[in-house]
Amino acid sequence: MSAGLVEGPQNVSLTYYHQYALSLNYSLEGGANGTGPSVSGVQFGQTVNLELKPSGILPFFDSGTNVTIPLILAGSNSSVRWATTQFLPSGEIQVAGAARVDLVYQLQYHVETYSGPEGGGSITELDGWFNTSSSVQLSAAPSTGWECEGWAGTGTGSYSGSTCQTSIRINGPIVENATFYPGLTITVGSGGAVEYGHGAQSGVVGSGSTATLFAPAGTAITLNASPSSLLYQFSRWSPSALGTSAQGTMVLDAPTTVNASFSLNIVLIGSILGAAVAAIVVVDFAVRGRSRQRTSTFVQPVPGP
């Protein structure tokens, strides 16, 4: 209502606005925030901004207009925020009658997951917001030829360990990284064995056996092939990139298979056979010599008259 002094003739144009009262209230779940939401609406044809109070406010807005509410409260950042899922996606309330609106803002934390090396496996891919105290499942599955070594996490509630399928409770911003190790499969042929080692780890793959070891990508692994006896000799590595020596070093960057082959030591076996034949000849010659000697010294008796 307005009043004025009439001092002469004049024209007065009155404009009336159809308005509705909106009871606007808000609450925070999961934790306090110092800044309340500020809504934007239309009163008497003009845009106004009103800050909500925890106790609520009761403003009038022009009928048919929209009241805009913030979906994310001021004071939020890239890892912590207070957000509401109400009135998505626009965050607008149409003024079509008197109403009560209770806004609920949840404390949320950002969660991200990564994995490496590339191609090592698949994981639960997360890059989003989760309510505080909620739970999230983590899963890491290795690709063929790889092994999952577990998760390494940072942040309150994160997980670090060798379990590849687990869950975490969100109590702060979290980053989780899954690690996969490539495998080296060593196949050893008959007649020898292969020793392997990297860092403090070592082992032996025996004759006619196959074993797979897993190590971080980029690990240098030493291989040493040795015959099981003098009758065998190292033949070759496959692939040939390891060289012709029985000792070699390779860098494990991806799943790899190495074969070690052994063959009969023909030179040694020939020498042994040659020596055996020579010994047989010597023995035979000696036997024949003694036989001739016994024949030559035998005297036939002469019969008497």
Alpha carbons 21 and 19: distance in angstroms, whole number = 7
* Residue 182 burial (C-beta neighbours within 10 Å; 0-12, 13-18, 19+): buried
- Does the structure show a pLDDT above 70 at 299? no
Q: What is the pLDDT of residue 289?
A: 63
pTM for this one?
0.77
Interval 210-238 mean pLDDT:
94
Residue 146 is which amino acid? W
| CA 156 vs CA 76, 140, 152, 153, 195: distances in Å | 18, 21, 13, 9, 43
- Shortest CA distance to 182 belongs to which of 233, 113, 254, 124? 254
Alpha carbons 247 and 213: distance in angstroms, whole number = 18
Strand partners, 187: 210, 259
- Shortest CA distance to 178 belongs to which of 199, 156, 159? 159
- Does the structure show a pLDDT above 80 at 210? yes
- Does the structure show a pLDDT above 60 at 298? no
- Shortest CA distance to 31 belongs to which of 167, 170, 176? 170
- Shortest CA distance to 39 belongs to which of 30, 31, 48, 29? 48
Interval 212-232 mean pLDDT:
94
Question: Cis omega (within 30 of 0) on the bond before 227?
Answer: no
Interval 175-204 mean pLDDT:
95
Minimum mean pLDDT range among 6-10, 18-22, 120-124, 200-204:
6-10
- Does the structure show a pLDDT above 80 at 268? no
CB–CB of 194/205 below 8 Å?
yes
* Residue 239 burial (C-beta neighbours within 10 Å; 0-12, 13-18, 19+): exposed
For residue range 112-145, list pLDDT tens digits in order.
Answer: 999 999 999 999 999 999 999 999 999 999 999 9
Q: What is the pLDDT of residue 32?
A: 82
Domains of the chain (ranges; CATH) run 19-106 (2.60.40), 109-181 (no CATH), 183-264 (2.60.40)
